[in-house]
Structure 1
Amino acid sequence: MSAAKPAADTVVICVFDGLRPDFVTPERMPNLARFAGQGTWFLEARSVFPSMTRVATTAIATGAHPRVHGIVGNAFYFPQATQAHAIDLSRWDDIALAIEATDGRFVTAEPMGDVLARAGKRMAVVHTGSAGSAYLINPNARENGHWTFSLLGREHTRTPEAVDEVVARFGPLPPRRLPRFEETDYAERIFREHVLEQIRPDVALIWFNEPDTSFHYRFLGAPETLNVIRTVDEAFGRILSWVDAQPDAERYTVIAASDHGQITMSDALPLSELLGAAGHAGRRASERTLEGAQFTMTGGDMGEIRILEGGTARRDAIARWLMEQDFTGMLFTPGGDGIEGELPGTFSLGLVDLDHERAPELVFTLRSNDDADPFGHPGLGLMTKGDVPIGGGMHGGLNRHELNTTLIARGAGLTAGTVDGRATGIVDIAPTVLAALGLAPAATMTGRSLLGSPTPEQAPRLCETGSGGFRQYLEVADRGGSRILLQGGRRD
């Protein structure tokens, strides 16, 4: 596919982890709200499923869904790398195992960083999140001659010299405290004064770990959370002011985005123990041993179940037990007819673009709804027991408020002051970046460029299935070879 004439010389991307678009108001985030008035706000943008950070990070980097890029969870059982435990993509030692096991092809889609490098263009990243997220946003940064700085330190990036360079100029890395006020200001200063002013890459990306962290541990509408939201908005305002002050400001495309939303957790369930009482001995993915386990399970408000002993019969027994539980939201199995999975009553993993060869035998979400939390924000759900407190935020599932992302873009080929209601998503970011620079998308990209004239949209499609008293639905928008997941849940 050929690309159009470049619309920009530089693309600046600011990612606000977990930012729900309904928090972008003139009162809470005046700079981002002002920016929305200067560009196009894609109000119905969506994450991918699972709507988890590492999965979404890879979707942003590759412009592809998990069925293509292969990162099917924040943590997942990957026996090709190790059979001793599930790999946790927040840990560099687990990432290293996966890279070695796949001969450096852990991500199975081509990232935009590779496309940029092949065209002789540079990408620089300032990242405040986990080792996995810093790696997955540009997996081949070292090979491409690119630059990725991790706020967590040199052992959390494949280009540790970037950390050495920053510390030598800006001083020691800031302390890790909640909310992440110091980290936000330190990262923004590096991005503006070092990346934009000194390195001057063709694509510059900063990833703020707020408000996601505070949503999790300080609650969606708590005063501390609102304060840190103002802090990241002020940081964005300084970046935007720098861009606007450049003599060639019209040659910059600026994208503000989030990777997923969040909903509030109203209760936590000991799901592994409940399954044990039902006759299935499992291990949570957070445990570093699978000894004696018949299955392994990840958690949150959704999770995967991998069968280690008992095969399809055990999977089906667990799934049928889950169908009988009032707390279960949705269930997915491989295969089937493209809507229903191979186990009647479940949806197909293919329907949610999760049918990669690494996908599990069973995926569940826990029940959620659109009820308001104590701060008045819609979206309440259940989660498995973990470190996030009851009342904290969570994401991963298919509730519209955890799928709906912030996506605003300004530059040539985008209409200023427009609210675009089309079904778009984080998979569209990489194709848009490449199109702005006059580059064609990678062959593995399932997203599409948001520049230029809108393409016609089909009406959303409602899919339903279930068994007995268990009924579930999923609303999708088909886009000619790809789809956007709008929302899903259980029918009462």
Structure 2
Amino acid sequence: MLESPRILVVSFDGLRPDLISRELTPNLWRLKAAGLTLANHRTVYPSETRSAFPSFVTGATPDRHGMVGNKYVDRTTLPPRYIDTSDAVLLRELDVASGGLLFSAPSLGELLAKSGRSLGVLSTNTPGTTRLFHHKAEDLGHVRLSGHFREACTPSEVLADIEAQLGPLPPAPPKIEPDRAGQDWITSAFLDYVWPRCRPDVTILSFGEPDVTSHFHGTGADQTRSIIAYCDRQFGRVLDWWDAEGRAAGVQLFALSDHGHITGHTRISVVCSLRAAGFSPGTAPGPGVDVVVVPGQVGALYLDEMDEATLARLVASLTAEPWCGPIFTRARDEVNGIAPGSFSKRLVFADHIRAPDVAFSFRTDDSDDAFGLEGGTFYDNDRRAGLGLHGGLHPKELAAVGILAGTAVPCSGATSSLPSGICDIAPTILHLLGVSATPTMSGRVLHEALALAPNLIYPREEVFEARLGDYRQILRREHVGGASYIAGGWIEC
């Protein structure tokens, strides 16, 4: 009798699909030849890691799972407080304090456990991201391992066994240095311990690169290309195992990324601009702060006292800035926000109780950077121009890697041009395992990857527009059946 299928998902944080090549990533290229490439695969908005990976494991957009950004303001507490989701200990405290409602939707680990199956996680991302892959692993007795951070690891006895076998967790390197030791450690931990000893029904192996190196050196820089090649070599070890053993054991192998990168070309200050417009901004709630500007490459503004007149004034001040891209506020209707010139947050599936009063992206363009990579943007941080960024609505930020291979994927070397997205992965995994999806899932089963004719379904496109004076914003979405995908958003003057 054949074993039940098992799934291994390998993720490369921040890898642009157009950086996969025969020369730079021969092993990912090899997987493309063995399976099906999702050529129109996208992430969610905001295109940030700790919104995207929760969308992966819940099969839902941020309005449904509640991780509205890498950082947000929690206004359910008095006083409101600033939340940084990179903190694994804080995330655990929030989940316990909320009665298990850190996510507003059930996640893959929970659904698998209810059907008597298991999810294993090995990750070199931040401790918070590692926890978000399976935030209830310790409650369910599942394995979750960080390549660097003990506070994200469970069970402790599994970590102790692996350290006895492989050596201790390597320390996280300074952010200006590519992370090689962590990628090596989690790959060995999977091949030498987690697979032979634990054999989860679903495993997530997440390389936290090339994201960090892109942020500090540039998306096409030599250092970034070097760490991409290094991660691909680690993936090659996994692919060799899969060819020798995993495929015959019924393992379906998926390769993903959570978002792409574009390049910052012009530095600005949102705080300074809002102060000049008559507001009293700050980066966290506090006395005298009337609008919180959450730090990051996607704009998130929380008003101390919410009223439509102040909101309209805030949006008008933003639309007058040359650096401002698409803007979203609470829905007036399905398309328009309550502030003139803004879109409804519903259009980008970002309308959650934790969501900011004003969400915006920085203005982007299609310029090429110093490495010949398309996509440029204004940005607000203390780093030099020319470095990798993400969070917004440029198609290169939204573009994500999607490659599926295994016995369930009959098309070798094929490409599907259908729109697909990170929310589709969990429903597809559950379908392969015979586990029912939940009504909270906004993704769909990727039937085109599981069929011999992947391109016989036809998508539908929508284009929306909102104006305020000379400010004109455009948003494009695509649909396959009941699933919706954000294709891009931009400003036209």
Same fold (TM over 0.5): yes
Q: What residue number does 1:483 align with? A: 484
1:272 and 2:271 equivalent? yes
* Per-residue deviation, residues 404-452 of structure 1 (Å, max 9, x unmatched): 0000000233221111111100001111111122222122111111143
Q: How does 1:186-225 map to 2 (within 5 A)?
A: 186-225=185-224
1:367 alignment counterpart = 363
- TM-score (structure 1 length as normaliser): 0.94
1:33-112 counterparts in 2 under 5 A? 33-81=29-77, 83-112=79-108
Structure 2 partner of 1:461:
462
Question: In 1, Cα distance between the equivalents of 2:345 and 2:94?
Answer: 23
Amino acid at match of 1:228: I
Q: Secondary structure at the match of 2:225?
A: helix
Paired with 1:127 and 1:281, the residues of 2 have a C-alpha distance of 40
> Alpha carbons of 1:160 and 1:283: their partners in 2 closer, same or farther (altered >3 Å)?
farther
Q: Where do 5+ consecutive residues of structure 2 fail to align?
A: none
Distance 1:123 1:385 in 2: 36
Q: Does the alignment pair 1:132 with 2:131?
A: no
1:56-82 CA distance string (max 9 Å, x none)? 010011010011101101100012256
Contact in 2 for aligned 1:195/1:204 (Cα 8 Å): no
Moved more, 237-246 or 399-408: 237-246
Identity %: 33
C-alpha RMSD over aligned residues: 1.9
The residue number in structure 2 matching 1:470 is: 471
> In structure 2, do the counterparts of structure 1 residues 122 and 266 end up closer, same or farther at CA, with 3 Å as the change threshold?
same
Aligned residues: 484
- SS of aligned partner of 2:245: coil
Could you tell me which runs of 5 or more consecutive residues in structure 1 were left unpaired when the two chains were aligned.
1-5
Which deviations, in whole Å up to 9, do the C-alpha atoms of 1:23-61 show, x marking residues without a partner?
Answer: 011011010011111111001100000010000010011
Q: Deviations over 1:212-250 (max 9, x none)?
A: 011101111111111111100001110011111117526
Q: What is the CA–CA distance in structure 2 between the aligned matches of 1:51 and 1:338, rounded to whole Å?
A: 22
> How far does residue 122 in structure 1 lie from its aligned partner after superposition?
1.4
Corresponding position of 1:184: 183
Displacement of 1:201:
1.1
Partner-residue secondary structure (3-state), 2:81:
coil
- What code does the residue aligned with 1:215 have? S
What is the one-letter code of the residue matched to 2:22?
P
Q: CA deviation at 1:264?
A: 0.7
Q: Distance in 2 between matches of 1:7 and 1:334?
A: 49
Q: Tell me, what secondary structure is at the counterpart of 2:263?
A: strand
SS at match of 1:279: coil
Q: Is the 8 A contact 1:9 1:202 kept in 2?
A: yes
The amino acid across from 2:224 in the alignment is: T
Contact 1:150–1:163 (Cα < 8 Å) also in 2:
no
Q: CA offset at residue 251 of structure 1? A: 1.4
**Aligned letter for 1:478?**
H
2-structure distance, mates of 1:281, 1:159: 46
Change (3 A) 1:268 1:327: same
- Contact kept, 8 Å, 2:120 with 2:200, in 1: the verdict is yes
For the residues of structure 2 that align with 1:248 and 1:91, how far apart are their CA atoms?
Answer: 36
CA distance in 2, matches of 1:94, 1:311: 31
Match of 1:410 in 2: 405
Would you say the 8 A contact 2:38–2:415 is kept in 1? Answer: yes
Which residue identity lines up with residue 434 of structure 1 in the other structure? L
Is the Cα contact below 8 Å between 2:3 and 2:249 reproduced in 1? no
User: Which of residues 331, 337, 349 is equivalent to 2:333?
Assistant: 337
Counterparts of 2:491 and 2:247 in 1: how far apart (Å)?
51
- Structure 1, 59-68 or 441-450: larger mean CA deviation: 441-450
Aligned match of 1:445:
441
What is the CA–CA distance in structure 1 between the aligned matches of 2:480 and 2:134, rounded to whole Å? Answer: 26
Relative distance call for 1:310 and 1:430 in structure 2 (3 A) is: closer
Using structure 2 for the length normalisation, give the TM-score. 0.94
Name 1:164's counterpart in structure 2.
160
> Residue 245 of structure 1: SS of its match in structure 2?
helix
Does residue 424 (structure 1) correspond to residue 420 (structure 2)? The answer is yes
Q: Structure 1 stretch 96-105 or stretch 256-265: which is displaced more? A: 96-105
Out of 9, 15, 37, the residue aligned to residue 13 of structure 1 is: 9
Once the two structures are TM-superposed, the CA of residue 365 in structure 1 deviates from its matched residue by 0.8
For 1:247 and 1:409, the matched residues in 2 are separated by 14
Q: Is the 8 A contact 1:7 1:413 kept in 2?
A: no
Q: Letter of the aligned partner of 2:407 in structure 1?
A: A
What residue is the counterpart of 2:137 in the other structure?
141
Task: Name the SS of the counterpart of 2:477 in structure 1.
Answer: strand
Contact persistence 1:125–1:149 (CA under 8 A): yes
- What code does the residue aligned with 1:394 have? L
67-76 or 301-310: which moved more? 301-310
> Is 206-215 or 352-361 further displaced after alignment?
352-361
Contact (CA 8 Å) 2:308, 2:338: kept in 1 or not? Answer: no
